Amino acid sequence: MRGLVTELSRRLDAHQRSRIAELDLTPTQAKALEELGEPKTARELAGVLCCEPPNVTYVISKLEKQGMVVRQPHPLDGRAKQLVLTEAGRELRLDLLRRMGTASPLDHLSHEERIALRDDLLKALGRGA
């Protein structure tokens, strides 16, 4: 069983990396774009990405130079800045998400089978369905 889970994980990872590379992004940049569907502070994004805030600053600076992200004042905390996708960033994020969902190793599963797999994985992880 463990071997099957490992093989599926490798296939999903290879699929994800190839889709990310098509857009000339690093895996961290892609994950940041995915997570910025809603504005976040650098600290919040660092928490989601499981990295230190200086690493997020580096990634966001590169996306900012590409015109994908802007820093805006936080509406509730005058000391903080929010990371917000630009129109180009939103388009790139949607393109990334579309590509990730295309030609996936799970494509041969029906919608019901995918839901069942998700539920079983959540149960195995102790997170319920």
pLDDT confidence bin for 53, thresholds 50/70/90: confident
The C-alpha angle with vertex 87 and arms to 85 and 93, in degrees rounded to 5, equals 60
pLDDT confidence bin for 19, thresholds 50/70/90: very high
Domains of the chain: 26-102 (1.10.10.10)
The residue with greater pLDDT, 127 or 64, is: 64
pLDDT of res. 74: 84
Average pLDDT over residues 64-69: 95
Neighbours of 121 (CB within 10 A): 12
Alpha-helical runs (H) found in the chain: 2-22, 27-35, 42-49, 53-65, 87-100, 111-124
Dihedral sign from CA coordinates of 38, 89, 53, 29: positive
Q: Which of 36, 67, 63, 66 is closest to 49 using CA atoms?
A: 36
pLDDT at 3 over 60: yes
